Amino acid sequence: MAGSRLERIGTIYTRTTGLIKSKALNWEDRPLWYDLYEAFPPKEEPSFDRPIPNIKLKNIFYKEDRIRAIFHRNNKYVGTINLFNNNYKSLTQRFVDIYQKLEENSGDGTTEEQLYKEAIEVLKRDKEIKKDSEDEPVTLSSAFKQAKLDQDKVNINISNIFKD
């Protein structure tokens, strides 16, 4: 039985079709993707022995990715991020913004290292100015404390949940 699960025997579609035809799988219990596959079948049947198409892959890196890589290579700990706050910019994103502004304002003679050092200095100054602000990265302990406070605010009575 386990041998029939090999991709060499057939595609997942043909194996599922076989299960439905043999009544081993009820029509109502078919996978969600089954109807989509029937409505929009692939141009070429997926097979294990099909040659890999020779397609040139596009480079999907952005200019900011290089800047982020430099920042994370030199700064291992950047704090946690509160994903509930949509207005929050991460430390990395603030660094990228500062770096790009400095890059626009600087001449052609500045190197990446000089821009990096200047951006770190500006970031440190901003951090000192906003020391008491909520825009700073959330520490794990403060996040747990805030979650506990939020949890205490919500009044859920379990007995009411399971009442008929």
Q: What is the pLDDT along the chain (164 residues), one digit of tens a residue?
A: 445 556 677 888 999 999 999 999 999 999 999 999 999 999 888 877 888 889 898 888 888 999 999 899 988 877 777 788 888 888 889 999 999 999 888 877 788 888 999 999 988 888 766 654 555 555 666 666 777 777 666 666 677 777 76
Q: At which residue do the structure tokens 């790009």 appear?
A: 100
Asked if residue 68 lies in contact with residue 119, where contact means CB atoms within 8 angstroms, the answer is no
For 75, the token pair is: 């700064």
Residue 156 makes CB contacts below 8 A (sequence gap 6+) with none
Residue 41, exposed/middle/buried by CB under 10 A (0-12, 13-18, 19+)? exposed
Q: At which residue do the structure tokens 């890059």 appear?
A: 103
Q: How far apart are alpha carbons 81 and 135 in whole angstroms? A: 10
pLDDT given at position 130: 62
pLDDT given at position 1: 46
